[in-house]
């Protein structure tokens, strides 16, 4: 397989990912400006926030992770399964937007979780080398999903505990599923996978339900493992730099230089997803690579949004909300531009010679 040419059997997934990204950033933009006081929402804020985050995880991050698995030869849901999955994601997110955690959202989320477990079982059957990050992924899916029953049970009786379990769930999916799938998709190792799993799990517990000295050390160790990405010759310079930012950021949270609070967590999640994760996976998804300087504009956009969110922890100023909204707008515009660029290339517009993918040395 040529690293620079996504295989034909993932074409449908590539469109699904693009649509989910468009939907996620559009709802995010709408929410961000309502928080900045620009307009009133016509739907409930928390319902829309659920629709936004679930569309991002269901429709964007998991299908992207599957592209990473596919690149390593693992089997992923085929065209019919992908259509069903996309339809279910759309219906579930509409359910969240209009009705919150109602019957539609619960039934749809259960179906999606079943798809994840099914794909994890498939991955578990494959043999993984001791340094293959994909070894972490099925266990990451199982342990993250273990957070769902306590969330459901404590939602009404202890909302604070439920919130902590949600944080561990979101961090577990990122550190144990999405990040290992992304680096595996680029044939990068982060050391023995049991170590990656133990430190990532510890980090996810620290960021949610178990802020303990042992889990703190686990998060610090995980940040140290991610630091190896800044030296990887398989990633572009800009991608290595933003992994460095994430690694130092997680290290700063472990050392309590950055407190583990909601504004900081929101800034960290958005920067990690929009920058390093998407930049690492873009070559498996895009047909036509974007120039390095365009990526730097993108990193400045989501970097600005995330920095403003983190600043909300330290200063009370309406400017942090405005800057977050401006950064969010630039982020949304940047991804729209990136998608239009891909769409134009797919429909016959030929990029200039310099912009075309370089031939892979082993192609
Ligand atoms: C495309 C990838 C993205 C993903 C996967 C994503 C994911 C998330 C997640 C997991 C949350 C936390 C939800 C919760 O705690 O219930 C969240 C909240 C939020 N996101 Fe995003 N997001 C993305 C992009 C964006 C963008 C580009 C914007 C702005 C333009 C944005 C604006 C927001 C807002 C306003 C909130 C609610 C913040 C609050 O409750 O104070 N998101 N997002």
Residue 351 clears pLDDT 60, i.e. is over it: no
Least confident of 285-289, 308-312, 350-354: 350-354
Of ligand 1's atoms, which has the minimum distance to the CA of residue 305? 29
What sign results for the dihedral spanned by CA atoms 50, 53, 58, 60?
Answer: positive
* Cβ of 269 less than 6 Å from ligand 1: yes
Residue nearest atom 35 in ligand 1 by C-alpha distance: 32
Contact assessment for residue 190 and residue 203, using Cβ atoms and an 8 Å cutoff: no
Rounded to the nearest 10 degrees, the angle between the axes of helix 193-206 and helix 237-254 is 50
The whole-angstrom separation of Cα 307 and Cα 301 is 10
Q: Which 8-state DSSP code applies to residue 232?
A: -
Does 266 reside within a domain?
A: yes
The whole-angstrom separation of Cα 235 and Cα 258 is 27
Mean pLDDT across the chain:
92
Residue nearest atom 8 in ligand 1 by C-alpha distance: 53
* Cβ of 332 less than 6 Å from ligand 1: yes
Of ligand 1's atoms, which has the minimum distance to the CA of residue 31? 35
* Cβ of 49 less than 6 Å from ligand 1: yes
Least confident of 65-69, 185-189, 341-345: 341-345
Does 353 reside within a domain?
A: no
Contact assessment for residue 185 and residue 74, using Cβ atoms and an 8 Å cutoff: no
The residue with tokens 């310079």 is: 237
The whole-angstrom separation of Cα 327 and Cα 321 is 10
Contact assessment for residue 60 and residue 86, using Cβ atoms and an 8 Å cutoff: no
Rounded to the nearest 10 degrees, the angle between the axes of helix 278-285 and helix 237-254 is 150
Instruction: Copy the structure tokens of residue 130.
Output: 């001791």
Q: Which residue, 203, 237, 232, 231, is CA-closest to 217?
A: 203
Counted domains in the chain:
1
The CA 153 to ligand 1 mean position distance, Å, reads 24
The CA 32 to ligand 1 mean position distance, Å, reads 8
Residue nearest atom 32 in ligand 1 by C-alpha distance: 28
* Cβ of 266 less than 6 Å from ligand 1: yes
Does 185 reside within a domain?
A: yes
Q: Which domain holds residue 295?
A: 8-344
Of ligand 1's atoms, which has the minimum distance to the CA of residue 21? 1
User: DSSP H helical segments within the chain, as ranges?
Assistant: 11-35, 45-55, 62-71, 79-99, 103-125, 137-145, 148-154, 159-173, 179-185, 193-206, 213-227, 237-254, 262-272, 278-285, 292-311, 318-346
Q: Identify the pLDDT of residue 2.
A: 43
Of ligand 1's atoms, which has the minimum distance to the CA of residue 34? 35
What CATH number corresponds to the domain at position 38? 1.20.210.10
Q: Identify the pLDDT of residue 160.
A: 95
Report how far apart the first and last C-alpha atoms of the chain are (Å, whole number): 7
Measured CA to CA in angstroms, residue 131 lies from 114, 203, 220, 266 at distances of: 27, 20, 20, 31
Identify the residue with better confidence: 226 or 124: 226
The whole-angstrom separation of Cα 306 and Cα 249 is 11
Does 223 reside within a domain?
A: yes
Q: Which residue, 250, 239, 100, is CA-closest to 174?
A: 250
The CA 34 to ligand 1 mean position distance, Å, reads 13
Q: Which residue, 101, 105, 17, is CA-closest to 65?
A: 17
The CA 52 to ligand 1 mean position distance, Å, reads 6
The CA 146 to ligand 1 mean position distance, Å, reads 23
Query: Which among 52, 100, 303, 322 is the best mutation to test ligand 1's pocket, defined by most ligand atoms within 8 Å of the CB?
Result: 52
What sign results for the dihedral spanned by CA atoms 109, 57, 310, 323?
Answer: negative
Contact assessment for residue 23 and residue 93, using Cβ atoms and an 8 Å cutoff: yes
Residue 5 clears pLDDT 70, i.e. is over it: no
Q: Identify the pLDDT of residue 144.
A: 98
The residue with tokens 């050392």 is: 255
Identify the residue with better confidence: 7 or 206: 206
The CA 111 to ligand 1 mean position distance, Å, reads 23
The CA 29 to ligand 1 mean position distance, Å, reads 9
Does 52 reside within a domain?
A: yes
* Cβ of 55 less than 6 Å from ligand 1: no
Instruction: Copy the structure tokens of residue 115.
Output: 């798809």
The CA 294 to ligand 1 mean position distance, Å, reads 23
The CA 164 to ligand 1 mean position distance, Å, reads 17
Q: Identify the pLDDT of residue 10.
A: 83
Does 359 reside within a domain?
A: no
The whole-angstrom separation of Cα 179 and Cα 127 is 20
Contact assessment for residue 225 and residue 199, using Cβ atoms and an 8 Å cutoff: yes
Q: Which residue, 251, 239, 135, 235, is CA-closest to 193?
A: 135
Q: Which tens digits make up the pLDDT trace of 241-300? A: 999 999 999 999 999 999 999 999 999 999 999 999 999 999 899 988 899 999 999 999
The CA 21 to ligand 1 mean position distance, Å, reads 12
The whole-angstrom separation of Cα 231 and Cα 338 is 26
Residue 359 clears pLDDT 50, i.e. is over it: no
Does 363 reside within a domain?
A: no
The CA 28 to ligand 1 mean position distance, Å, reads 6
Of ligand 1's atoms, which has the minimum distance to the CA of residue 327? 30
The whole-angstrom separation of Cα 134 and Cα 140 is 10
Q: Identify the pLDDT of residue 357.
A: 52
Does 3 reside within a domain?
A: no
């Amino acid at each position: 397989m040529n690293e620079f040419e996504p295989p034909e059997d993932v074409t449908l997934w590539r469109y699904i990912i693009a649509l989910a990204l468009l939907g996620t950033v559009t709802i995010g933009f709408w929410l961000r400006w309502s928080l900045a006081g620009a307009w009133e929402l016509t739907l409930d804020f928390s319902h829309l926030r659920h629709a936004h985050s679930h569309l991002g995880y269901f429709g964007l991050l998991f299908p992207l992770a599957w592209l990473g698995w596919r690149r390593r030869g693992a089997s992923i849901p085929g065209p019919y399964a992908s259509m069903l999955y996309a339809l279910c994601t759309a219906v579930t997110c509409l359910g969240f937007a209009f009705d919150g955690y109602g019957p539609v959202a619960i039934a749809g989320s259960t179906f999606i979780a079943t798809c994840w477990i099914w794909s994890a079982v498939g991955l578990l059957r494959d043999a993984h080398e001791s340094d293959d990050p994909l070894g972490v992924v099925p266990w990451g899916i199982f342990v993250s999903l273990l957070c769902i029953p306590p969330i459901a049970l404590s939602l009404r009786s202890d909302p604070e505990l439920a919130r902590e379990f949600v944080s561990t769930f979101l961090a577990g999916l990122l550190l144990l599923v999405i990040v290992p799938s992304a680096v595996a998709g680029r044939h990068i190792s982060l050391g023995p996978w049991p170590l990656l799993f133990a430190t990532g799990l510890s980090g996810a517990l620290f960021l949610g339900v178990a802020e303990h000295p042992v889990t703190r050390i686990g998060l610090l160790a995980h940040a140290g493992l991610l630091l190896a990405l800044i030296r990887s010759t398989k990633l572009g310079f800009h991608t290595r730099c933003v992994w460095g930012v994430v690694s130092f950021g997680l290290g700063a949270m472990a050392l309590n230089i950055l407190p583990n609070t909601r504004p900081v967590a929101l800034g960290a999640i958005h920067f990690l997803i929009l920058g390093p994760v998407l930049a690492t996976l873009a070559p498996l998804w895009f047909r036509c690579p974007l120039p390095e300087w365009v990526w730097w504009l993108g990193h400045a956009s989501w970097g600005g949004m995330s920095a403003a969110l983190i600043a909300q922890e330290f200063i009370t100023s309406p400017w942090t909300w405005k800057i977050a909204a401006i950064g969010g707008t630039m982020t949304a515009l940047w991804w729209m531009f990136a998608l239009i660029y891909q769409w134009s290339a797919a429909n016959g517009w030929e990029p200039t010679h310099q912009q075309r993918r370089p031939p892979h040395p082993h192609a």
